[in-house]
Amino acid sequence: MEAISETLTSPSSLPTLPFDLISEILCNLPVKLLLQLQCVCKSWKSLISDHNFAKKHLRKSTPRLMVSIINNRHKNVSLFDSPIPSLFSTLKIQRTKLRFPNSLKNKYCSPSGVCSCDGILCFVADNGSFVLWNPSIRKFKILPPLNNAPNGGPASYFGFGYDHLTNNYKVVAVSLKEVSVYILGTDFWRTIQDFPHSSCSESSGVFVSGTINWLTEYYDHDGASSISRVIVSLDLAKETYQKLSLPDLNNSLWTLGVLKDCLCICARSWGGKFLEVWVMNEFGNKESWAKLHTVSYTGDGGPYVIGKPLYIYEDNKLLMDFRDLEIGMVKLKLGFYDYKKDTLKILNHQNFECYMDPEVYVESLISPCF
């Protein structure tokens, strides 16, 4: 029955919502339920698989936290995800085991790190293949091998992000200095300008504002063991590079991340007892680097090494990850940092051993197979 506008006697008849209004409501639902609701009727099935609906849904989507856990008994890596913990909840975080694509089992190579964009995770499997995976809808795609694979070997750095110009997603792979780009929906890689640097500190790039960014570190020529750092930023639409300067800080271990759509730097001190979080409020503008917080951990327990901020809440509290260094293994912990009180509250979260930093991603309907 079609949508009816209200008649003068409306209060007694059942209100029927027109399809476009139903679509608005559905945008608020979690992915899992939406997949079930594809069984409601044919028009709902089409709507929920529609790419434009997926993009609309993405805007209201909830971020989730993914962690890779080493299962001591079986010595293999399992992936779990959970909602971003609420500041107010003291309940144990409910984790869901992610069903890793069967054909890739035993090939997941966590130490390379993971990038994500719009709910799609990008990582490199053990055999060197790139994989795009949306765990929320359980769709994955194994990308064709890199052109220079025989010569250059597997990619050393990579990145994944959304290009607003072509309204599509791109994977970037850097092998030695050769850079290849893959556009979702095609079946080949294209070579672009060489990478302007070497020695990136982490293999996975950070996607922000249409660019993929890698932190590079190198020792100055004068050999005075001072480290110079610069961010290499690739504009996904133009496929050109830019170098971004960083604030001058004395700390030792740096990681690049993203908070609230801005590039952020976490610079840790030796021993990992405190770190500074700086945010580049205006992309590309060196002057816009501003210190957000200095996080220091002076509580009980430890020794802890402070990892990096994962997520920032409305009132600027940070969700941090850090490592508990026990002999023989690295255990991951999560905590909230409250800058007003300068306290770090460890979450009531089961310890688990893991390789890599947790990845924050959003649940989405966007398919890597379109």
Chain residues that interact with other proteins, rule: CB under 8 A: 1, 5-6, 8, 10-11, 14-17, 21-22, 24-30, 32-33, 35-42, 44-45, 80, 94-97, 99, 138, 350
Q: How far is the CB of 177 from other proteins (least distance, A)?
A: 43
When the beta carbons of 16 and 151 are compared against other proteins, the nearer one is 16
User: Hunting for tokens 């700086």 — which residue is that?
Assistant: 278
With beta carbons less than 8 A apart as the criterion, state whether 113 and 204 touch. yes
Nearest to other proteins of 76, 252 (CB atom): 76
- Shortest distance in whole angstroms from residue 121 CB to other proteins: 18
* Residue closer to other proteins, measured from CB, 91 or 327: 91
The span from the CA of 222 to the CA of 232, in Å, is 22
293: CB partners within 8 A, 6+ apart: 276, 277, 316, 318, 337, 339
Residue 96 Cβ vs other proteins, minimum distance, rounded to whole Å: 6
Q: How far is the CB of 329 from other proteins (least distance, A)?
A: 19
Residue 77 beta carbon to other proteins: minimum distance, rounded to whole angstroms = 15
Which C-beta is closer to other proteins: that of 21 or that of 237?
21
CB of 146 to other proteins, least distance (A): 32
- Torsion of Cα atoms, 170 then 175 then 179 then 183, to 10°: -20
Nearer CB in complex with other proteins: 47/206: 47
Q: Which is nearer to other proteins, 186 or 350 (CB)?
A: 350
Q: Give the span between the Cα atoms of 355 and 181, in whole angstroms.
A: 27
